[in-house]
Amino acid sequence: MKRLAILGSTGSIGQSTLSIVEQFPDRYQVATLAAGRNVDEAFAQAVRWRPKVVSMATEELAARLCKRLDEAGVSGTQVVHGSEGTVACSTHSEADFVVSAIVGVAGLEATHAAILAGKPVGLANKECMVAAGEILTAAARERNVPILPIDSEHNAVHQCMRVGDHREVKFIWLTASGGPFRKTPLAEFAAITPEQALKHPTWVMGRRITIDSATMLNKGLEIIEACRLFDVPSSQVRVTIHPQSTVHSLVEYVDGSILAQISVTDMRLPILYALAYPERPASNLTFDLGALRHLDFEEPDSERFPCLRLAYEAAEKGGAHCIALNAADEVAVEAFLARQIPFTGIAGTIEKVLASTPESHPATIAEVLASDREAREKAHALVA
């Protein structure tokens, strides 16, 4: 029986993880939940799963949840709050495995703490690896703790790399849908609205990641994540646009063989893979081979997707530039959704922040967070 700490339990990855727990009650139990700001969903999850600890974003939200649990007669669940509460969830003595799915750098401290505590981590939060991957992977190696990717692309790469030796890998190929503007004339980009950008052709995701898919910055973050997860330089990580989204990633070996991972576009499959690794339990997540009648692959247009170029530049420099890339994008996406800047202003903001970022390599999580704050301040000043 594997007992789970789920960081980001009320989000889409968290809820998909809980559906896996429901499907495999003989394999998984819930130990702790970090639920963020959604009191209603946190209450429902606490009643259903009876975790040892639930963490909320603030003290006021924690008090509201406590009151509702008391009124419902639910006992045995400790309610905590803030970053300390999230760390308490990720390091709890009864947690055997941590699912890190809090969006942004908010889950960074708890993910790092889990690794230091010797907990295996299923990572669905690419921002943690982008901002502090050098620190996280070093800590994981020192403690022999696995970091298993839940992101569908990196999960696919992980599966393909089980076949060959690391030294035999020539290229990692990350697939991208191309988003909703793959064929939109460049002259129309400045007039793109948030409503248009939020209509992803394949996946149903959160607002930020959907916009990142439209700019392909999400793929840029994944390039950096792949470099750190699989210990390869950015020159070995390539991106191909694959609109059907049936091939989740590919690994090309030095002998010319290319291995692809194909499955349904359902996040429960990579979650189950990470939870069960190295096993492969039977599931109902089957794939219709008829969907492979037509597969397209094309090179991304760097003029259409300048964020991809910026990500490669940040990956080459590493450290503070990777932190600034993520932080500036988060601020710029919020500004675009609030109609403060145009769609093209997202890449423009990121480029200016990167240009003003000195080269450095933060050695601690505190230094990473300080660098993140500095980049956000620069980005806020630009969008203002």
Report residue 292's pLDDT band, with 50, 70 and 90 as the boundaries: confident
Is a pLDDT exceeding 90 seen at residue 293?
A: no
Predicted local confidence at residue 203, as pLDDT: 63
Q: Are the CB atoms for 34 and 61 separated by under 8 Å?
A: no
Average pLDDT of the chain to the nearest whole number: 95
Q: What is the mean pLDDT of residues 319-334?
A: 97
Q: What is the mean pLDDT of residues 208-220?
A: 93
Question: What is the 3 state secondary structure string of 135-199?
Answer: HHHHHHHHHCCCEEECCHHHHHHHHHHCCCCHHHEEEEEEEECCHHHCCCCHHHHHHCCHHHHCC
Is a pLDDT exceeding 80 seen at residue 206?
A: no
Look up the CATH superfamily of 2-149.
NAD(P)-binding Rossmann-like Domain (3.40.50.720)
The one-letter amino acid code at 171 reads: F
Domain boundaries, the chain: 2-149, 154-200+219-266+286-305
Predicted local confidence at residue 311, as pLDDT: 97
Predicted local confidence at residue 209, as pLDDT: 84
Q: How far apart are CA 129 and CA 113, in angstroms?
A: 14
Name the nearest CA neighbour of 242 among 155, 152, 175: 175
Is a pLDDT exceeding 80 seen at residue 384?
A: yes
Is a pLDDT exceeding 70 seen at residue 204?
A: no
Predicted local confidence at residue 131, as pLDDT: 94
Q: What is the mean pLDDT of residues 101-106?
A: 87
pLDDT tens, position by position, 246-266: 999 999 999 999 999 999 989
Question: What is the 3 state secondary structure string of 49-116?
Answer: HCCCEEEECCHHHHHHHHHHHHHCCCCCCEEEEHHHHHHHHHCCCCCCEEEECCCHHHHHHHHHHHHH
Predicted local confidence at residue 201, as pLDDT: 73
Q: How far apart are CA 176 and CA 1, in angstroms?
A: 36
Q: Are the CB atoms for 332 and 212 separated by under 8 Å?
A: no
Distances (CA, A) of 161 to 247, 281, 305, 315: 15, 19, 28, 21
Is a pLDDT exceeding 90 seen at residue 103?
A: no
Predicted local confidence at residue 280, as pLDDT: 96
Name the nearest CA neighbour of 126 among 157, 149, 109: 149
Q: What is the mean pLDDT of residues 177-199?
A: 92
How large a percentage of the chain has pLDDT more than 70?
A: 99
Report residue 26's pLDDT band, with 50, 70 and 90 as the boundaries: very high
Minimum mean pLDDT range among 57-61, 69-73, 164-168, 202-206: 202-206
Predicted local confidence at residue 207, as pLDDT: 86
